[in-house]
Amino acid sequence: MVPPCFQTHDPGTFIRSFEPFGAAMNFPRLFAPLDLGHTTLPNRILMGSMHTGLEDKASDYDKLAAYFAERARGGVGLMVTGGIAPSIEGWLAPFGGRLTMPWHVARHRKLTRAVHAEGGKLCMQILHAGRYGYHPLSVAPSKIKSPITPFTPRALSSRGVERTIGDFVRCARLAQDAGYDGIEVMGSEGYLINQFLTARTNQRNDAWGGDAAKRMRFPVEIVRRTREAVGRDFIIIYRLSMLDLVENGQDWNEIVTLAKAIEAAGASIINTGIGWHEARVPTIVTSVPRAGFAWVTKKLKGEVSIPLITTNRINMPEVAEQILASGEADMVSMARPLLADPEWPRKAQAGRSERINTCIACNQACLDHVFQKRRASCLLNPRACHETELRIDPAPARKNIAVIGAGPAGLACASTLAERGHAVTLIDQASDIGGQFNYAKRIPGKEEFHETLRYFRHRLEDTGVTVKLGQTADAASLAGAGHDEVVIATGITPRRIHFPGSDDARVLSYLDVLAHNKPVGQRVAIIGAGGIGFDVAEFLVEHPPSATLDISRWTREWGVNMQLDTRGGLAPAKPETPAREVWLLQRSEGRPGARLNKTTGWVHRATLKAKRVNMLGSVNYERFDDQGLHITVDGKPQVLPVDNIIVCAGQEPNRALADTLTTAGIKTHIIGGADVAAELDAKRAIDQGTRLAATL
Ligand code: FAD
Ligand code: NAP
Ligand code: SF4
């Protein structure tokens, strides 16, 4: 049975499940202060460390200060910066952020001053990448290359280990000089400290390797010597890898022994780390169940007496409160949810959690950007990390503006225009807002998209947008309506394709399946292996309800051992039998899915592989008849004996209305899919809608 707060909120019932605005005690455990001895945190919400790309250049620290200040104003109890290297060897990438010299302190003071001015608290994360360093200077306990970087690290000498500990301590002292409230020692996700802790990456036979007791000396000495250097009145968070999710990772007894030693060495708080970056189990993407790893932190409760923070896929106050109420942790960490909505804590405390812009864990504008060496932002909140540049100021003059289309582009545009003071009418031909998000939310593992629609429903109401549903806008109806300007956000039409038999009734579009619930047979070919082709394949092979809603079922499918009695917490994966036999096809060469997003594409590919989906590239579509779909692959003919074909062959802009309005002399702007359908996603749609609205 899934606890109610883990279920996707039905828009109708969501509001009823919360106390009204201003209620006295909302989420009492989440908003209980946490006494750390020398200081008290106002609540149990940690904004976890998240690399934004602004840490790397001194010239970006004003922007970073504005980013943190906005979140401090939002009421978060404690924040942690993105990882800062304690040495050049410890860089994640060349010229990444580091705090190694006294003259680096000034830029960090900008952050601490901005946060303290808003009444917030900020810790700096010290991250040594070890063999994950994407540069030729990387070091590690042993000379063993990681599977995710091209550089083989140099093995640290014994003196090198001592020097590295000294680097951590010096970095912590400089952080103290910069005015931080504390530091976080990054001991998880497979970075240097984690590399010392397992025989997988530590094959030394000196005082720093050989057995578990020697392997753990490195982190314990870092914490002990740091505490000595910074004194008692400074927070030290230790991020402890509680579930490595890699072969030959730590076992549970080693983890408990390490936690106790870290407490004895002087840490104030232990934060949870889940999975090395090279792990083949997803840990934060949207198809991971909410709070899907809080049970790991709970296992450590009672073993140490300092507070424990849990993390991963916690995005709503009901989930956080339940974790604290059930004793799984003392505090919850959320990074991306505060990127999506800096006012998350204040809204929750005021009993307005239905107003939270909920992180959908898509990674599209945050982690994917970081991997592309671009500045992070948020698909739902393009202002994230652009606070000083993308400003939503009051409009100089109130205009009467119509927005046609209530998909992501139109929703973002209409609500931002109204927030700025314009009179806005939002028109959609459908009976509900959301556009294609109404199809996306039906995909197993994309249940979070419901939350975005719930958020926008409230935002339209709060900003006073007039919403007209079930009305098809046309030039005639718009011409005499007195609008100063019209924004066209009418989206796309699915691309139709033609080959002999393609007009057969058994050839469906993805809209037939996701919007019109047309029946689909047991054997199906999907034409087109883009984002929608993959999503439709997942929809067809999964037995509802989705495994995302059930932690035990999900861990079984992905091979996570909830008993924690194997090294790394791994178990043989037991994927469920697929609901259908599916072929996923593309014309281009190479493996389908190669163009999916960096941090999530591998999860989609692994999911379909586990469900035995046949993925083929270099396909020519010849004809469809009673035998099935006739194709040639590299010139060789094949017949796929399928009952149905589903076409997911991309999209074309739906902009006929824009063309007519422009001809009629009405001032028109075009956004989202109506503007450019190729490679359109919701990130671009929302960004374009928001940016246009900020300027009108
Ligand atoms: P749409 O969402 O297409 O909205 C257009 C709206 O205009 C519709 O509501 C339509 O009814 C209305 N309209 C059209 N003509 C008229 C008219 N004449 N009068 C009144 N109303 C009109 N993107 C991501 O970034 N990440 C994902 O994970 C993701 N998953 C997806 C999964 C699926 C199954 C699908 C189908 C799409 C997914 N997308 C995803 C793509 C994303 O949904 C689109 O990029 C986005 O919806 C485009 O926004 P839009 O506002 O431009 O258009
Ligand atoms: P897409 O990513 O452009 O993929 C279209 C697919 O159709 C490709 O595999 C293409 O490959 C094939 N195709 C194109 N023209 C064809 C033709 N004439 N005949 C046969 N096949 C053809 O588009 P989409 O899948 O429709 O997705 C739309 C947008 O939604 C995407 O841009 C994506 O960003 C977004 N989306 C994102 C996610 C996500 O998780 N981030 C999920 C869903 C959708 P070949 O040309 O090689 O056959
Ligand atoms: Fe969350 Fe997606 Fe925004 Fe990242 S981009 S913060 S995952 S909603």
Residues 523 and 453 in one domain: no
Residues 420 and 330 in one domain: no
Tokens 């020097």 belong to 163
The answer, yes or no, to whether residue 11 has pLDDT greater than 90, is no
Compute the average pLDDT of residues 519-547. 96
Nearest to 669 by CA among 488, 497, 436: 488
pLDDT value of residue 2: 34
In a domain, 381, yes or no: no
Q: Check whether residue 317 and residue 171 sit in a common domain.
A: yes
CA distance 213 to 116: 40
Tell me how far apart the 2 most distant CA atoms of the chain are, in Å: 84
In a shared domain, residues 127 and 219: yes
574 within a domain of the structure (yes/no): no
Q: State the Cα–Cα distance between residues 70 and 66, nearest whole angstrom.
A: 6
Q: Return the structure tokens found at 495.
A: 């691309």
**Nearest protein CA to atom 14 of ligand 2, as residue:** 649
Q: CA 520, CA 209: separation in Å to the nearest integer?
A: 57
Our answer on whether the CB atom of 444 is closer than 6 Å to any ligand 1 atom is no
- Residue 1 belongs to some domain of the structure: no
Question: The CATH number of the domain where 624 resides is what?
Answer: 3.50.50.60
Least confident of 1-15, 272-286, 489-503, 637-651: 1-15
d(CA 610, CA 577): 9
Q: Using CA atoms, how far apart are residues 441 and 453, in angstroms rounded to an integer?
A: 9
Q: Per-residue confidence at 30, pLDDT binned at 50, 70, 90?
A: very high
pTM of the prediction? 0.95
User: Which position among 180, 191, 238, 510 bears the catalytic label?
Assistant: 191
Query: Are both 279 and 329 inside the same structural domain?
Result: yes
Q: Give Cα 44 to chain centroid, integer Å.
A: 21
CA–CA–CA angle 511, 360, 47 (5° rounding): 175
Give yes or no for residue 690 having a pLDDT over 60.
yes
Q: Which residue spans within 136-261 are E strands per DSSP?
A: 139-140, 154-155, 182-187, 235-243
- Hey, what are 110's tokens? 């900008």
More confident position, 477 or 129:
129
What SS3 class is residue 114?
helix
Q: What percent of the chain has pLDDT over 70?
A: 97
Task: Give domain status of residue 322, yes or no.
Answer: yes
* 399 within 8 A of 484, measured Cβ to Cβ: yes
Residue 160 beta carbon below 6 angstroms from any ligand 2 atom? no
Both 269 and 179 in a single domain? Answer: yes
> pLDDT digits over 84-95, tens only?
999 999 999 999
Does 19 have pLDDT greater than 70?
no
Rounded Cα gap, residues 34 and 91, in angstroms: 33
At 508, which helix (H) or strand (E)? strand 507-509
Q: Would you say residue 570 lies in a domain?
A: no
Do 189 and 297 reside in the same domain of the chain? Answer: yes
Give the pLDDT confidence score for residue 17 in this predicted structure: 34
pLDDT band at 663; cut points 50, 70, 90: confident
- The pLDDT-based confidence of 617 (bands split at 50, 70, 90) is very high
Does any domain span residue 561?
Answer: no
Q: Are 696 and 424 in contact (CB under 8 A)?
A: no
Secondary element (H or E) of residue 404: strand 400-404
Q: Which atom of ligand 3 is nearest to the CA of 336?
A: 6
pLDDT value for 584: 98
Structure tokens at 98: 């580091």
Burial class (CB in 10 A: 0-12, 13-18, 19+), 173: middle
Distance CA 103, CA 676 (A): 47
Indicate the residue among 613, 628, 649 that finishes a domain: 649
Residue 533 alpha carbon to ligand 2 centre in Å: 7
Ligand 3 centre distance from Cα of residue 383 (Å): 12
What is the Å distance from ligand 2's center to 259 Cα?
47
Residues 452 and 507 in one domain: no
Chain segment 262-272, per-residue pLDDT in tens: 999 999 999 99
Do both 120 and 163 map to the same domain? yes
Residue 679: pLDDT over 90: no
State whether the beta carbon of 336 lies less than 6 angstroms from ligand 3: yes
Taking residues 476-481, report their average pLDDT: 86
Q: Mark whether 140 and 60 lie in a shared domain.
A: yes
Q: Is the CB of 50 under 6 A from ligand 3?
A: no
Structure tokens at 331: 């505090």
Domain count along the chain: 3
Confidence grade of residue 206 (pLDDT, cut at 50, 70, 90):
very high
**Inter-residue contact 223 to 216 (CB < 8 Å):** no
| pLDDT of 534 | 98
Reported as a single tens digit per residue, the pLDDT across 569-594 is 999 999 999 999 999 999 999 889 99
Q: What is the CATH number of the domain that holds 222?
A: 3.20.20.70
Residue 198 has pLDDT above 70, yes or no: yes
Which structural domain range is residue 635 located in?
496-542+579-649
- Residue 406 Cβ inside 6 Å of ligand 1? The answer reads yes
DSSP-derived 3-state class of residue 318: helix
pLDDT band at residue 507, thresholds of 50, 70 and 90? very high
Query: How are strands ordered across the β-sheet holding 644-647?
Result: 507-509, 644-647, 523-527, 581-585, 614-616
Residues with Cβ within 8 Å of 273's Cβ and at least 6 positions away in sequence, in order, are 187, 188, 189, 194, 239, 240, 241, 242, 311
Q: Which of 333, 355, 371 is the last residue of a domain?
A: 371
Q: Does residue 34 sit in helix, strand or coil?
A: strand
The whole-number average pLDDT for the span 263-288 is 97
pLDDT tens, position by position, 456-473: 999 999 999 999 999 999
What is the C-alpha to C-alpha distance for residues 320 and 27, in angstroms, rounded to an integer? 9
CATH code at 683?
A: 3.40.50.720
| Residue of minimum CA distance from atom 1 in ligand 3 | 359
- Say whether both 416 and 435 belong to one domain: yes
Nearest-atom number in ligand 2 for the CA of 592 is 9
**CA–CA dist 294, 490 (Å, integer):** 42
Q: Mean pLDDT, to the nearest integer, of 228-245?
A: 98
For the question of residue 191 being annotated catalytic, the response is yes
Instruction: Please check whether residues 83 and 195 belong to one and the same domain.
Output: yes
Q: Which residue has the tokens 């982690």?
A: 367
531 lines ligand 2 (CB under 6 A): yes
The three-state secondary structure class of 83 is strand
**Which tens digits make up the pLDDT trace of 288-302?**
999 999 999 999 999
With respect to residue 359, please indicate whether it lies within any of the assigned structural domains.
Answer: yes
Residue 12 pLDDT exceeds 60: no
pLDDT band for 430, please (50, 70, 90 cuts): very high
| pLDDT > 60? residue 230 | yes
- Do 275 and 283 form a contact (C-beta atoms < 8 A)? yes
Ligand 3 center to 338 CA (angstroms):
9
What would the two tokens of residue 30 be?
Answer: 């989440």
State the amino acid at position 171 in one-letter form.
Answer: C
Candidate from 128-142, 433-447, 472-486, 680-694 with smallest mean pLDDT: 472-486
In which band, very low, low, confident or very high, does the pLDDT at 565 lie, cut at 50, 70 and 90?
A: very high
Question: What is the average pLDDT across 217-241?
Answer: 98
- The predicted model gives 649-667 an average pLDDT of 90
Which residue in 405, 347, 289 sits closest to 76, CA to CA? 347
Per the domain annotation, does 136 fall within a domain? yes
Q: Ligand 2 mean position to 586 CA, how many Å?
A: 9
683 CB near ligand 1 (under 6 Å): yes
Q: Whose CA is nearest to atom 3 of ligand 3?
A: 378
DSSP assignment letter at 440: H
> What does the mean pLDDT of the chain come to?
94
